[in-house]
Protein backbone atom coordinates (compact mmCIF):
# COMPACT_ATOMS: atom_id res chain seq x y z
CA UNK A 1 0.00 0.00 0.00
CA UNK A 2 1.31 3.43 -0.94
CA UNK A 3 2.22 5.76 1.88
CA UNK A 4 0.43 9.13 1.78
CA UNK A 5 1.11 12.29 3.71
CA UNK A 6 -1.63 13.39 6.02
CA UNK A 7 -3.08 16.81 5.25
CA UNK A 8 -2.19 19.26 7.93
CA UNK A 9 -0.51 22.48 8.73
CA UNK A 10 -3.65 24.55 8.19
CA UNK A 11 -5.72 25.89 10.99
CA UNK A 12 -9.39 25.09 10.66
CA UNK A 13 -11.43 28.13 9.66
CA UNK A 14 -13.66 29.70 12.26
CA UNK A 15 -17.34 29.94 11.66
CA UNK A 16 -19.06 33.22 12.44
CA UNK A 17 -21.47 33.48 15.28
CA UNK A 18 -24.72 35.00 13.94
CA UNK A 19 -25.12 37.26 16.96
CA UNK A 20 -21.56 38.54 16.59
CA UNK A 21 -22.20 39.29 12.92
CA UNK A 22 -25.40 41.23 13.60
CA UNK A 23 -23.79 43.15 16.46
CA UNK A 24 -20.74 44.11 14.38
CA UNK A 25 -21.32 47.45 12.64
CA UNK A 26 -18.28 46.90 10.39
CA UNK A 27 -20.11 44.16 8.48
CA UNK A 28 -22.25 45.76 5.82
CA UNK A 29 -25.24 44.16 4.16
CA UNK A 30 -24.76 44.36 0.41
CA UNK A 31 -27.26 44.32 -2.38
CA UNK A 32 -25.50 42.86 -5.40
CA UNK A 33 -28.31 42.10 -7.86
CA UNK A 34 -26.08 41.68 -10.91
CA UNK A 35 -23.79 39.21 -9.16
CA UNK A 36 -26.82 37.33 -7.80
CA UNK A 37 -28.27 37.06 -11.31
CA UNK A 38 -24.96 36.18 -12.95
CA UNK A 39 -24.16 33.25 -10.68
CA UNK A 40 -27.33 31.47 -11.82
CA UNK A 41 -25.67 30.91 -15.22
CA UNK A 42 -22.07 32.16 -14.88
CA UNK A 43 -19.53 32.59 -12.14
CA UNK A 44 -17.43 35.03 -10.19
CA UNK A 45 -13.98 34.36 -8.82
CA UNK A 46 -12.18 36.34 -6.13
CA UNK A 47 -8.61 35.50 -5.28
CA UNK A 48 -4.95 36.26 -5.71
CA UNK A 49 -3.38 36.26 -9.16
CA UNK A 50 0.43 36.54 -9.15
CA UNK A 51 1.92 39.08 -9.75
CA UNK A 52 -1.21 41.27 -10.00
CA UNK A 53 -2.57 40.74 -6.50
CA UNK A 54 -6.18 40.35 -5.41
CA UNK A 55 -8.61 40.21 -8.33
CA UNK A 56 -12.32 39.70 -8.95
CA UNK A 57 -13.44 38.17 -12.24
CA UNK A 58 -16.95 37.69 -13.62
CA UNK A 59 -17.73 35.41 -16.56
CA UNK A 60 -20.99 34.34 -18.16
CA UNK A 61 -19.68 30.95 -19.23
CA UNK A 62 -18.48 32.21 -22.62
CA UNK A 63 -17.08 35.71 -22.06
CA UNK A 64 -15.24 37.62 -19.37
CA UNK A 65 -17.57 40.41 -18.35
CA UNK A 66 -15.25 42.11 -15.87
CA UNK A 67 -11.77 41.64 -14.45
CA UNK A 68 -10.99 43.98 -11.57
CA UNK A 69 -7.87 44.49 -9.46
CA UNK A 70 -8.45 45.27 -5.80
CA UNK A 71 -7.29 48.79 -5.04
CA UNK A 72 -5.09 49.75 -2.11
CA UNK A 73 -7.22 50.06 1.04
CA UNK A 74 -10.32 48.81 -0.83
CA UNK A 75 -12.50 46.51 1.25
CA UNK A 76 -13.89 43.28 -0.11
CA UNK A 77 -17.38 44.80 0.03
CA UNK A 78 -16.22 47.73 -2.09
CA UNK A 79 -14.56 45.40 -4.60
CA UNK A 80 -17.74 43.34 -4.90
CA UNK A 81 -19.83 46.50 -5.34
CA UNK A 82 -17.51 47.60 -8.18
CA UNK A 83 -17.76 44.13 -9.71
CA UNK A 84 -21.56 44.32 -9.55
CA UNK A 85 -21.47 47.68 -11.38
CA UNK A 86 -19.03 46.36 -13.99
CA UNK A 87 -21.29 43.37 -14.66
CA UNK A 88 -24.19 45.76 -15.20
CA UNK A 89 -22.16 47.82 -17.70
CA UNK A 90 -21.17 44.68 -19.58
CA UNK A 91 -24.72 43.36 -19.82
CA UNK A 92 -26.51 46.65 -20.58
CA UNK A 93 -23.93 48.74 -22.45
CA UNK A 94 -21.51 46.09 -23.83
CA UNK A 95 -18.65 47.79 -21.95
CA UNK A 96 -16.27 45.13 -20.63
CA UNK A 97 -13.88 46.15 -17.84
CA UNK A 98 -10.37 44.68 -17.87
CA UNK A 99 -8.00 46.01 -15.22
CA UNK A 100 -5.71 42.98 -15.38
CA UNK A 101 -4.34 42.96 -18.95
User: Tell me, what's the pLDDT at 11?
Assistant: 53
* pLDDT tens-digit map of 53-96: 999 999 998 999 999 999 999 999 999 999 999 999 999 999 99
- Which pairing describes strands 64-69 and 53-59: parallel, antiparallel, or unpaired? antiparallel
The domain locations on the chain are: 28-98
3-state secondary structure of 48: strand
Beta bridge partners of 67: 57, 98
Mean pLDDT of 27-40: 85
61-100: b or e for each residue (b if 16 or more CB lie within 10 Å)?
A: eeebbbbbebeeeeeeeebbbbbbebbbebeeeeeebeee
Beta bridge partners of 56: 46, 68
**pTM over the 0.85 mark:** no
Amino acid sequence: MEHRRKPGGRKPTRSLDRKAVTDNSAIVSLSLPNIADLITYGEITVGVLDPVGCVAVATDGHNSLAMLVRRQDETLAQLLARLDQAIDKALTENIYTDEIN
